């Protein structure tokens, strides 16, 4: 499904990825662990074709390497559900409209076809009751669940989540991860980029650590996260680790909001 072949990515002098060779199959679940600026987001951006590798080839489904045309990039992105740390919701649209946007972008759906699918995605995310609210009227956790509903409404084969719990307090984080796991169990491949080992513990699946641009697979239980990131960088980027809590990341019994 996704294959990196000797991929190197540089931003000027800084090396973000160094000769990374890696693959991920359909329905698989994987976590990219690494401190801030380790290259997790770069990998996700390469998969989304938001940036190009300095060298090497990235293949996603049938889209192989090279610089895709704008039309092909759009087509590729329609097959992927993406969840960002900062949600990227449209502030002047209701929750319903934000989720429906993915379906309108996919095209070929009438309003009558859009409504039941959006309502279903919102129910799965536990947000149907809030469908007429604007993002600003939601808590951070609800906003992230709205972003997840938007990502899953088209039932994509691949879901990318970039620090999905980064801005959330523990209870919301647990709910969001529970939701992502439920979707993955339905058959979608799930790739999560995070700085937190706790997230990787909850998600399970294959675990990779990014360090100094290099990617290596680690077994659960080993200490995966490399040397702690410099406090300055973590604080500046807002990626400071979430405080631990006894019930953190325990999926709620109801499995929803």
Partner 1 sequence: MHPYFWREAWRSFRAHRGLAMTSMLSLIASLTLCGLFVLLDHNARQALRAIGDRREMIVYLKDEIPETELAVLMDKVRQYFGEPTYVDRKQAWQELSDQIGDPDLLSGVEDNPLPASIRVRLKPELLGFAAMEQAAQQVLEFPEVEDVRYGAEYVRRLDRFSGGVRLATWAVGAVVALAMALVLFNTLRLTVLARRHQVEVMLRLGASDRFIATPYVYEAMMHMTLAAVISLLLVFALQQVVAYRLDGVTFLPWTTSLAFIGGALAVAWVASAGALSRILRNIGS
What residues pair up with 2 in beta bridges, in sequence order? 24, 60
Task: Indicate which single residue of 106, 133, 218, 234 sits in contact with partner 1 (rule: CB under 8 A).
Answer: 106
Q: Considering the complex, what minimum distance in angstroms separates the CB of residue 160 from partner 1?
A: 11
Question: Sheet containing 14-24: which strands, arranged edge to edge?
Answer: 14-24, 2-11, 55-60, 63-64
Q: For partner 1, give the closer residue by CB, 80 or 167.
A: 80
Name which of residues 42 to 81 contact partner 1 (CB under 8 A).
48-50, 70-71, 73-80
Q: Considering the complex, what minimum distance in angstroms separates the CB of residue 51 from partner 1?
A: 8
Q: Which stretch binds partner 1 (CB under 8 A): 16-24, 100-108, 177-185, 239-247?
A: 100-108
Q: Considering the complex, what minimum distance in angstroms separates the CB of residue 197 from partner 1?
A: 28
Q: For partner 1, give the closer residue by CB, 75 or 235.
A: 75
CB 122 within 8 A of CB 96: yes
Q: Considering the complex, what minimum distance in angstroms separates the CB of residue 112 from partner 1?
A: 11
Task: Indicate which single residue of 12, 13, 62, 107 sits in contact with partner 1 (rule: CB under 8 A).
Answer: 107
Name which of residues 142 to 171 contact partner 1 (CB under 8 A).
150
The 3-state secondary structure of the chain, one letter per residue: CEEEEEEEEEECCEEEEEEEEEEECCCCEEEEECCCCCCHHHHHHHHCCCCCCCEEEEEECCEECCCCCHHHHHHHHHCEEEECCCCCCCCCCCHHHHHHHHHHHHCCCCHHHHHHHHHHHHHHCCCHHHCCCCHHHCCHHHHHHHHHHHHHCCCCCEEEEECCCCCCCHHHHHHHHHHHHHHHHCCCEEEEEECCHHHHHHHCCEEEEEECCEEEEECECECCCCCCCCHHHHHHHCCCCCCCCCCCCCCCCCCCC
Q: For partner 1, give the closer residue by CB, 26 or 50.
A: 50
Q: Considering the complex, what minimum distance in angstroms separates the CB of residue 193 from partner 1?
A: 15
Q: For partner 1, give the closer residue by CB, 160 or 202.
A: 160
Q: For partner 1, give the closer residue by CB, 81 or 224.
A: 81
**# binding residues, partner 1 (CB under 8 A):** 28
Q: For partner 1, give the closer residue by CB, 107 or 246.
A: 107
Contact residues for partner 1, defined by CB under 8 A: 48-50, 70-71, 73-80, 82, 88-92, 101-102, 104-107, 110-111, 150
């Amino acid at each position: 499904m996704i294959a990196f072949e000797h991929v190197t990515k540089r931003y000027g002098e800084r090396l973000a990825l160094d000769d990374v060779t890696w693959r991920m199959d359909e329905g698989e679940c994987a976590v990219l662990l690494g401190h801030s600026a380790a290259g997790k987001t770069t990998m996700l951006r390469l998969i989304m074709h938001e940036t190009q590798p300095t060298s090497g080839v990235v293949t996603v489904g049938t889209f192989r390497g090279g610089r895709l045309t704008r039309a092909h990039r759009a087509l590729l992105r329609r097959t992927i559900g993406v969840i960002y740390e900062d949600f990227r919701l449209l502030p002047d649209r209701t929750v319903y409209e934000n989720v429906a946007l993915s379906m309108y972008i996919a095209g070929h759906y009438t309003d009558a076809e859009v409504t039941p699918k959006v309502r279903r995605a919102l129910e799965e995310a536990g947000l149907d009751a809030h469908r007429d609210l604007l993002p600003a009227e939601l808590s951070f956790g609800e906003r992230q669940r709205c972003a997840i509903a938007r990502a899953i409404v088209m039932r994509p084969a691949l879901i990318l989540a970039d620090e999905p719990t980064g801005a959330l307090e523990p209870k919301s984080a647990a709910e969001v991860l529970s939701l992502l796991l439920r979707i993955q169990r339905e058959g979608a491949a799930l790739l999560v980029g995070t700085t937190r080992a706790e997230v990787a513990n909850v998600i399970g699946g294959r675990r990779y650590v990014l360090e100094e641009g290099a990617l290596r697979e680690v077994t659960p239980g080993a200490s995966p996260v490399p040397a702690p990131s410099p406090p300055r960088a973590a604080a500046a980027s807002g990626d400071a680790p979430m405080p631990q809590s006894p019930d953190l990341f325990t999926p709620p019994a109801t499995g929803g909001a």
